[in-house]
């Protein structure tokens, strides 16, 4: 394994971690060590690929082909099991609730002491480590302080400050960044076969979030919903228009959530039936129906939590309008996210001040925080936000906070 991988085309389990060569270099080198560090903290903004990096690392730690560099061939039986999320020695924790409970944490600790059944190491991946309360995190602390020799912990959070310092101090930190839109576009072309022009627009509109970019490139209705969200500021002028815009944003976010979750649920069901040996369109045998029912129950729980994620995505799209507006107002010369709206943005930029635009951006980010961190009803929070985004309201909003 070379010291750095910058400029090298990643392969195997690392192939989709575009733009993360430095992080892959650290993780792949650790996977090749006889005794890798026992605890890791992978951080990065939404869309950077934290979970993908953690699962790729888990696969590489159990890869059966030690001669492959970087470690993690993606072709051996162990890597294939990891890719299908069915590796018996890789435990993946991604909560469907707002927090990981103490009971769940205790079960994780118990599993960490099990010896590997198939591979070389038992790997515990906690994708939502930031969703643990302090009491829950303390349950993990002793297990991470004194881990079994065959166990590796991998925690994922948006930032290092999202976990207790006592946990953080025992983990090796790997930070991810958002990839360049050009790299995301290339992945969409090479992996998924999208036309370059479609891939480029989708990658920029998604602000380098690979999953969102793929959905935008593949689904015209998703592109239309995003366009309607981003152009909402053009229709803001009165209190009634603000209320209408809020209702429309909620409806669009709900529609996107329903469509996206339905697509993902169908793919997961098809994958499960394929693993069970049930042919497409054939009835599920009675002895296998319990497994299908468990999947459906898990999907229902996930859908409930995922709604707020789609509200956040809608607000991120709305924020991109004000981000582009600020770029034109300050003359920074940075590329626009919404290139197709350049004329509308150019007309609006002289009509408002940069300070007003910043106040609107603050309002949107505050609403995003409220939706994630409190029990506020999404409709009420978004209605209040839209009223503060009215052309004559931002300065009042900033004074009231």
Q: Which residue from 62, 66, 74 is spatially nearest to 152, judged by alpha carbons?
A: 62
Structure tokens at 98: 């707002």
User: Does residue 25 sit in the same domain as residue 64?
Assistant: yes
End-to-end CA distance of the chain: 53
User: Does residue 259 sit in the same domain as residue 381?
Assistant: yes
Containing domain of residue 127, as a range?
12-175
- Residue 61 falls inside a structural domain: yes
Domains of the chain: total:
3
Rounded to whole angstroms, how far apart are CA atoms 113 and 171? 18
Looking at residue 396, its pLDDT comes to 41
User: Does residue 307 sit in the same domain as residue 338?
Assistant: yes
Among residues 175, 193, 228, which one ends one of the domains? 175
User: Does residue 196 sit in the same domain as residue 291?
Assistant: no
User: Does residue 90 sit in the same domain as residue 196?
Assistant: no
Contact yes or no for 64/91 (Cβ under 8 A): no
Looking at residue 1, its pLDDT comes to 35
User: Does residue 254 sit in the same domain as residue 304?
Assistant: yes
Contact yes or no for 254/382 (Cβ under 8 A): no
Can you give the CATH number for the domain in which 46 is found?
Answer: 3.40.50.300
- Residue 233 falls inside a structural domain: no
Enumerate residue ranges in the chain where pLDDT < 70. 1-9, 68, 95-98, 301-302, 304-306, 373-374, 392-401
Looking at residue 373, its pLDDT comes to 65
User: Does residue 290 sit in the same domain as residue 378?
Assistant: yes
- Residue 6 falls inside a structural domain: no
User: Does residue 370 sit in the same domain as residue 257?
Assistant: yes
Among residues 144, 175, 206, which one ends one of the domains? 175
- Residue 226 falls inside a structural domain: no
Q: Which residues have CB under 8 Å from 78's CB, separation 6+?
A: 59, 62, 63, 64, 87, 118, 119
Looking at residue 96, its pLDDT comes to 56
- Residue 224 falls inside a structural domain: no
Looking at residue 263, its pLDDT comes to 74
User: Does residue 327 sit in the same domain as residue 348?
Assistant: yes
User: Does residue 280 sit in the same domain as residue 389?
Assistant: yes
- Residue 234 falls inside a structural domain: no
User: Does residue 317 sit in the same domain as residue 214?
Assistant: no
- Residue 225 falls inside a structural domain: no
Strand order in the sheet with 172-175: 90-93, 122-126, 151-157, 39-43, 172-175
Looking at residue 323, its pLDDT comes to 97
**How high is the mean pLDDT of the chain?**
86
- Residue 230 falls inside a structural domain: no
User: Does residue 315 sit in the same domain as residue 279?
Assistant: yes
């Amino acid at each position: 394994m070379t010291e750095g991988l910058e400029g090298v085309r990643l392969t195997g389990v690392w192939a989709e971690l575009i733009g993360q060569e430095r992080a892959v270099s650290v993780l792949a080198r650790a996977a090749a060590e006889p005794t890798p560090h026992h605890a890791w903290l992978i951080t990065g903004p939404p869309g950077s690929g934290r979970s993908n990096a953690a699962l790729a690392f888990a696969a590489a730690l159990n890869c059966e082909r030690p001669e492959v560099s970087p470690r993690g061939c993606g072709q051996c039986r162990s890597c294939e099991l990891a890719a299908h999320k069915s590796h018996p020695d890789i435990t993946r924790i991604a909560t469907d609730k707002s927090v990981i409970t103490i009971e769940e944490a205790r079960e994780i600790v118990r599993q960490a002491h099990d010896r590997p059944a198939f591979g070389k190491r038992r790997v515990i991946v906690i994708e939502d480590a930031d969703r643990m309360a302090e009491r829950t995190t303390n349950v993990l602390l002793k297990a991470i302080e004194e881990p079994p020799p065959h166990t590796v912990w991998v925690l994922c959070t948006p930032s290092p400050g999202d976990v207790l310092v006592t946990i953080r101090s025992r983990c090796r930190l790997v930070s991810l960044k958002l990839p360049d839109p050009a790299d995301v576009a290339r992945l969409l072309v090479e992996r998924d076969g999208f036309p370059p022009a479609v891939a480029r627009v989708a990658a920029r509109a998604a602000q380098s979030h690979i999953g969102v970019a793929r959905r935008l490139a593949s689904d015209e209705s998703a592109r239309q919903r995003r366009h309607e969200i981003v152009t909402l500021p053009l229709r803001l002028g009165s209190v009634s228009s603000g209320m209408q815009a809020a209702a429309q944003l909620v409806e669009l976010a709900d529609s996107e959530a329903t469509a996206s979750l339905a697509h993902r649920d169908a793919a997961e069901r098809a994958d499960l039936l394929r693993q069970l040996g049930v042919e497409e369109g054939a009835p599920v045998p009675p002895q296998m129906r319990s497994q299908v029912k468990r999947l459906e129950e898990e999907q229902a729980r996930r859908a409930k939590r995922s709604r707020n994620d789609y509200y956040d995505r809608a607000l991120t799209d709305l924020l991109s309008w004000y981000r582009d507006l600020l770029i034109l107002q300050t003359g920074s010369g940075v590329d626009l996210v919404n290139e197709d709206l350049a004329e509308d943005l150019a007309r609006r930029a002289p009509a408002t001040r940069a300070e007003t635009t910043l106040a609107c951006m603050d309002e949107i980010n505050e609403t995003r925080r409220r939706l994630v961190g409190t029990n506020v009803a999404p409709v009420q929070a978004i209605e209040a936000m839209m009223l503060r985004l009215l052309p004559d309201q931002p300065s009042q909003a900033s004074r009231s906070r």
